[in-house]
Amino acid sequence: MVKSVVIVGGGTSGWMTASYLRAAFGDRIDVTLVESKNVPTIGVGEATFSTIRHFFNYLGLDEREWMPECQATYKLAIRFENWRSQGHHFYHPFERLRAVNGFPLTDWWLNERPSGRFDKDCFVIASLCDANRSPRYLSGALFEQDFTEGGAERGYRTTLTEQDTQFPYAYHFDAALLARYLTRYGTDRGVRHVLDDVVSVNLDERGWISDVVTKEHGALAGDLFIDCTGFRGMLLNKALSVPFMSYQDTLPNDRAVALRVPVNMAERGIRPCTTATAQEAGWIWTIPLFGRVGTGYVYASDYCTPDEAERTLREFVGPAADDLEANHIRMRIGRSESSWVNNCVAIGLSSGFVEPLESTGIFFIQNAVEQLVKHFPSERWDDRLRQSYNRQVANVMDGVREFLVLHYHAAARADNDYWKDATTRQVPDGLAERLEQWQVKLPDSETVFPHYHGFEPYSYTAMLLGLGGLPVQAPPALRLFDGAAASRELRIVRDQSRELVGRLPSQYEYFARLHDLP
């Protein structure tokens, strides 16, 4: 029987895992979490993915309660600045594409281009972001998404193409505050919390972990051990010697420097999106929380030194950065060959990581804990469960890697060696063929990475159209159609966007109300 779980590490991954296991299994499983007082957490990880709401739902947490405690805000999209050329921006929104007569609206857009901006013409969220709107009214109601119906009443025919919407937002939050919130959640529900350093890991004669030895609390024994020790990979990579497979040949950014910048939100407003601004040797993230902005430069050390990167970041932020201490971070890009070996599962940075361009770190954690619950060996160990888990977790990370490589490969920017090399660098197996394919027909479910990895074809389409470095075309068949229904739908998007911008409160107004500010 697998009855007791020992989690080593108390960052976002450790506490998300501990909370989720208790929410899933209650006291049928004992959970102990040991975290060091001396080894800090990574200290970043503030933007998420729209599926994160399932995590909070699972735990029974209401966003009106946890968001104010974690300085959280809404994120409707990622805004990409300067990836095509200086001054250009576009959004990758959390919004599926409408389809008219079986063709995604972007296919029609390529012929018509009403405003010249595919994101504003095809998605309402782009306008909400440009206008700093909240996706919720002051009453708490979510903005209307009546555009999901489509079909006869709009004068077009539907096909098997999925028309469902996707949930329109994710969150920005302070990761340390969230870890603290989840600490309370977990310990209130029986997680045993040990503050101590693990100094060694003992293996039995089969090579399975028997216990971890702490400085002050002796040995902690368990059935299943979860390695949440971050880039150290203390249990999986070190004690069990599981190899780490680097992605760096295809994704060269290996460092980051970060700042936490206090800002006056009432004056500045709160953008409901993460911004990724392209730079000489990478890109800078800007994540607006309630009361401060998290920002950082992700760069490739082959093209830029840490001093140059810090200077660039400080110049980008301006005088507000003057007295702030910068956090320099080395990133291990790639994944462990297997995330679950014997009785040890790595979750979080110890399992794998890609640069945070699409905010996938916490999504990887959520995916891993959900899969762990689905594959949990309650009665006895079964190698087939482990294999299935490892396959699923690896596919998610390999798929996200492909999607990120597309960001660099398809960017029109080519003003220095970094950006020129980005388009000629080798791409992961399979992507080269897909890139060829997408130039004659925008991505669909048959032509993107074939396993679940969180991203749908509309995301690939948004990136191809926004980045502008690869030629794309409308399907030739559209010339044989009457385009009236598509023109009408493009006008509907414009009208809905305008109405919503007029009706919804600003994101600042919404959160000022939630925080009881005057």
Residues 3, 75, 120, 441: which is the catalytic one?
75
**275 part of the interface to ligand FAD, by CB under 6 A:** no
**75 is known as an active-site residue:** yes
- Total of residues contacting ligand FAD (CB under 6 A): 37
Q: Mark residues 131-150: x for contact with ligand FAD by CB under 6 A, - for none.
A: --------------------
Q: How far apart are CA 189 and CA 308, in angstroms?
A: 47
State the Rg of the chain over Cα.
23
What count of residues does the chain have?
518
Near ligand FAD in 305-344, by CB under 6 A? 329, 331
Least Cα distance to 273 among 177, 130, 468 occurs for 130
- Smallest separation (angstroms) from ligand FAD to the CB of 11: 3
Asked if residue 73 lies in contact with residue 511, where contact means CB atoms within 8 angstroms, the answer is yes
Near ligand FAD in 222-251, by CB under 6 A? 228-230, 232, 234
- Smallest separation (angstroms) from ligand FAD to the CB of 14: 6
E runs forming strands in 247-307:
255-262, 273-279, 282-288, 292-299
Q: Which listed range, 38-46, 160-168, 336-344, 467-475, lies at the site for ligand FAD (CB under 6 A)?
A: 38-46
Q: How far apart are CA 431 and CA 402, in angstroms?
A: 7
Directed axis angle between helix 383-409 and helix 361-374, to 10°? 160
**217 part of the interface to ligand FAD, by CB under 6 A:** no
Nearer to ligand FAD, 331 or 422 (CB): 331
Asked if residue 97 lies in contact with residue 170, where contact means CB atoms within 8 angstroms, the answer is no
Which listed residue (10, 104, 233, 468) binds ligand FAD by CB under 6 A? 10
Q: Which listed range, 37-45, 446-454, 460-468, 483-491, lies at the site for ligand FAD (CB under 6 A)?
A: 37-45
Q: How far apart are CA 361 and CA 279, in angstroms?
A: 22
**454 part of the interface to ligand FAD, by CB under 6 A:** no
Nearer to ligand FAD, 398 or 489 (CB): 398
Kind of pairing between the strands at 273-279 and 77-81:
parallel
**282 part of the interface to ligand FAD, by CB under 6 A:** no
Which listed residue (93, 348, 399, 457) binds ligand FAD by CB under 6 A? 348
Which listed residue (5, 6, 7, 11) binds ligand FAD by CB under 6 A? 11
CA 378 vs. chain centroid, Å, equals: 30
Which listed residue (46, 130, 174, 254) binds ligand FAD by CB under 6 A? 46
- Smallest separation (angstroms) from ligand FAD to the CB of 81: 16
Least Cα distance to 510 among 51, 22, 67, 31 occurs for 67
Near ligand FAD in 377-396, by CB under 6 A? none
CA 53 vs. chain centroid, Å, equals: 12
- Smallest separation (angstroms) from ligand FAD to the CB of 66: 16
Which listed residue (33, 42, 345, 442) binds ligand FAD by CB under 6 A? 42
Nearer to ligand FAD, 97 or 362 (CB): 362
Alpha carbon distances (Å) from 254 to 247, 301, 303, 305, 365: 10, 6, 11, 11, 20
Least Cα distance to 170 among 45, 59, 51 occurs for 51
**448 part of the interface to ligand FAD, by CB under 6 A:** no
**192 part of the interface to ligand FAD, by CB under 6 A:** no
**345 part of the interface to ligand FAD, by CB under 6 A:** no
- Smallest separation (angstroms) from ligand FAD to the CB of 45: 2
Q: Which listed range, 11-19, 130-138, 384-392, 464-472, lies at the site for ligand FAD (CB under 6 A)?
A: 11-19
Near ligand FAD in 456-515, by CB under 6 A? none
Q: How far apart are CA 231 and CA 237, in angstroms?
A: 10
Asked if residue 11 lies in contact with residue 171, where contact means CB atoms within 8 angstroms, the answer is no
Least Cα distance to 463 among 404, 509, 414, 511 occurs for 404
* Strands laid side by side in the 198-203 sheet: 198-203, 209-214, 219-221
Q: How far apart are CA 114 and CA 125, in angstroms?
A: 17
Instruction: Report the interface residues with ligand FAD, using CB under 6 A.
Output: 8-14, 34-36, 39, 41-42, 44-48, 175, 197-198, 228-230, 232, 234, 256, 296, 329, 331, 348-349, 356, 359, 361-362, 365
Q: Report the catalytic residues.
A: 75
